[in-house]
Amino acid sequence: MIVADSDVLIDFLADKGAARTVEKYLRKGTLRTTVVNRFELLSGAKTPGQFAKIIQLLAAVPSLELDDEAADAASEIRKTLEAEGNVFGMADSLIAGIVYTNDAILLTRNKRHFERVEGLRLA
């Protein structure tokens, strides 16, 4: 399963960058996102038109939930990285925890950021 980060979903909406990759996984029916990315996209909509496009996209991309296991994994990820002196935000920790516990692959343009998470698979 491929889980799309907000940056690649924004690319898709703007028809640039990773748009073709997102489209490929959409067609296969294997693309997911997380509830955290859903929040980021919806809260970032600046106009009713943007909001409508995001809602249409999210209708086609199911969101993986933040459950207890994912929250626990996210807290360990964040604590481990911060103990090593690496700042890792709460939202990205939650995304990583959800992707990791679902044994999925994160599709992101921000590979340098997420590659610090041991065991997290990236596309």
Q: What is the CATH number of the domain that holds 87?
A: 3.40.50.1010
Six-digit token pair at 123?
């596309």
How high is the pLDDT of residue 68?
A: 98
pLDDT tens digits, one per residue of 12-59: 999 999 999 999 999 999 999 999 999 999 999 999 999 999 999 999
How high is the pLDDT of residue 70?
A: 98
Number of domains in the chain: 1
* DSSP classification of residue 117: S
Q: Which residues pair with 122 in a beta bridge?
A: 106
Range of the domain at 31: 2-122
pLDDT tens digits, one per residue of 82-99: 999 998 999 999 999 999
How high is the pLDDT of residue 107?
A: 98
**The model's pTM:** 0.93
For tokens 């999925």, the residue is 104
